[in-house]
Amino acid sequence: MPSQRIEPRQITFAGEVLSLPVYLDYQASTPLDHRVETAMSNWTHGFTGNPHSSNHIFGHQARRIIEEAQTHIASLINARPHEIIFTSGATEANNLALLGVARAHEGRRHIISVQTEHEAVLQPLEYLATHEGVEVTLLPVDKDGLIDHGALVSAIRPDTIIISVMAANNETGVCQDIARIGQICTERSIVFHSDAVQALSTEAIDVTAQNISLLSLSGHKLYGPMGIGALYVREGTDIAPLIYGGAQQRSIRPGTLPTALCVGLGEACRILAKCRTTNRNHLNKLRSSMVQRLSAELKNSVRLNGDMAPHIPGCLSLSFAGIDAEDLLHELPDLALSTGSACSSMNGKPSHVLKAMGMKAVDIAATIRLGLGRTTTQAEVHYATDQIIAAYNTLQPGKTTNITHQNGMH
């Protein structure tokens, strides 16, 4: 018997009907936009030809719609359609970028990245270092999660082939200056890869102006479908495939493409191009509202990590003094949020991101990640803030405790 979908319950709060639990984990995944679902449904019902069949109308039709999707994705980042390579998601895109470039340039065996990268970057780098003789330099970050550009330049060697730096961190939302990093790479003929999964929904990315050679993105972080992502590969960038068996997608990533999923990703990018500024303004208002309330009520007992650095507005990394984050989540059954990235929570390890930022173990254990999205409402933020304050006061009744690594919010 198939599993049943969880049905939310509804309450009235501040004059609005809320569905509980309130979803606040947008860094892990975003809901599928109904317009994306509609666009995909045209290609999930009835017969769809193989887009790589060139001798009949069914193949031509599928190929045309995939090329249209590539055009939407390319337009979002100022690329050319043929430079968009579809993958199963951002994890595959990151692997393809790093392993593909390393294997295509066996004379240059040095890669630079950052200690706070996603595991989908760090683990491929570890594999290359362990099994393929590649030397990897992981740059440290400061207390706000930013790299030092002087340290980056100093780390570059004659055999450095690729530098990989994410545009926005998935745990803290901190944004690196990818335009400056791209300039550094271009001046030295180094391939620049950026994992832009978290940044694209609110930040303008221009692969041409920012000198990005390779860029990873994910459908389900852009209100599109799961199971589809893409790697932008600038024309002229040498990259070896991870799999073999066909000439599709310039032989970089062979295999028959899933037409409906490609359509979904393309439609998600088309919609995003029209509403990104509105999304950002909306999220800035929600973020400010929540931060002001928490700061006023909990004062020095809560800290917003990385807030002094440039950041995406929808991601809040919050540390609470004197409690364990798991205990706090236990007190918040009507909020769907997490203690960190979905990948880190599965392995049960403390956040390597917060550790790299110099946080103490006790404060890392007291940290939650709260993700807001374009469908989050002010009433949901108001309700969630009330719930968090009440839960903290339940765990710390009558106490005024300072967070140990830095007092209060900024």
302 bridge partner residues: 320
Helix axes 259-298, 34-41, angle to 10 degrees: 170
| CA distance linking residue 65 with residue 25, whole number of Å | 32
| CA distance linking residue 22 with residue 384, whole number of Å | 8
User: Is residue 262 annotated as a catalytic residue, yes or no?
Assistant: no
Question: Measuring CA to CA, which residue among 140, 141, 144, 137 is closest to residue 162?
Answer: 137
Q: What is the phi/psi pair of residue 220, to 5°? A: -80, 0
Ranges of beta strands (E only) in 235-334 are: 302-304, 315-320
Single-letter residue type at 282 = H
Cβ contacts of 407 within 8 Å, gap of 6 or more: 300, 303
Cβ contacts of 193 within 8 Å, gap of 6 or more: 94, 97, 98, 101, 162, 163, 164, 165, 212, 213, 214, 215, 216
3-state secondary structure of 212: coil
Counting as low any pLDDT under 70, the low residues of the chain are 1-3, 341-347, 398-410
Whole-number pLDDT of residue 401: 53
| CA distance linking residue 124 with residue 111, whole number of Å | 11
In this structure, is the dihedral angle defined by the CA atoms of residues 22, 276, 218 and 177, taken in order, positive or negative?
A: negative
- C-alpha distances in Å from residue 385, one per residue of 199, 288, 334, 389: 24, 12, 12, 6
pLDDT in tens, 290-322: 999 999 999 999 999 999 999 999 999 999 999
Whole-number pLDDT of residue 340: 77
The residue from 175, 262, 275, 343 that is catalytic is 343
Q: Which fold has domain 9-32+276-395?
A: Aspartate Aminotransferase, domain 1 (3.90.1150)
| CA distance linking residue 111 with residue 94, whole number of Å | 14
Neighbours of 104 (CB within 10 A): 15
| CA distance linking residue 171 with residue 168, whole number of Å | 9
DSSP state of 379: H
